[in-house]
Amino acid sequence: DTGVSQDPRHKITKRGQNVTFRCDPISEHNRLYWYRQTLGQGPEFLTYFQNEAQLEKSRLLSDRFSAERPKGSFSTLEIQRTEQGDSAMYLCASRRGATTNEKLFFGSGTQLSVL
């Protein structure tokens, strides 16, 4: 069990650029979640996958955001035409099954700064 890993840890970009983040979940976990967290706030749900299928996407998520999980392993989150309001910590989490009594394992996150 190597844990959930995210890459990069930090990303600084200029407004209007595209960025992509990667998340590698724990290998036997078929549920993968993306959250966004701004300073002083709780993590905000963005989207989640069951294997390669994206089952839910937050209505707050703009069309500039897209996520994939090809082959049900790692996942990528892309933000196109970044805006300063996109600056946040992007957290990935995974768990083995669907039952609500299973805990989430979080990665260390990717801190995005849009200048």
Partner 1 sequence: QQPVQSPQAVILREGEDAVINCSSSKALYSVHWYRQKHGEAPVFLMILLKGGEQKGHDKISASFNEKKQQSSLYLTASQLSYSGTYFCGTVFGNEKLTFGTGTRLTIIP
Which residue ranges make up the site for partner 1 (CB under 8 A)?
Answer: 31, 33, 35, 40-45, 48, 55-56, 91, 98, 100-109
CB closer to partner 1 out of 17 and 50:
50
In the bound complex, what is the minimum distance in angstroms from residue 21's beta carbon to partner 1?
Answer: 14
Using a CB cutoff of 8 Å and minimum separation of 24, what contacts does 49-58 make?
49/75, 50/98
In the bound complex, what is the minimum distance in angstroms from residue 68's beta carbon to partner 1?
Answer: 18
In the bound complex, what is the minimum distance in angstroms from residue 82's beta carbon to partner 1?
Answer: 22
Secondary structure (DSSP) of 22-82: EEE--TT--EEEEEEE-TTS--EEEEEEETTEEEEE-TT--TTEEEE-GGGS-EEEEESS-
CB closer to partner 1 out of 84 and 100:
100
CB closer to partner 1 out of 98 and 115:
98
Contact yes or no for 114/16 (Cβ under 8 A): no
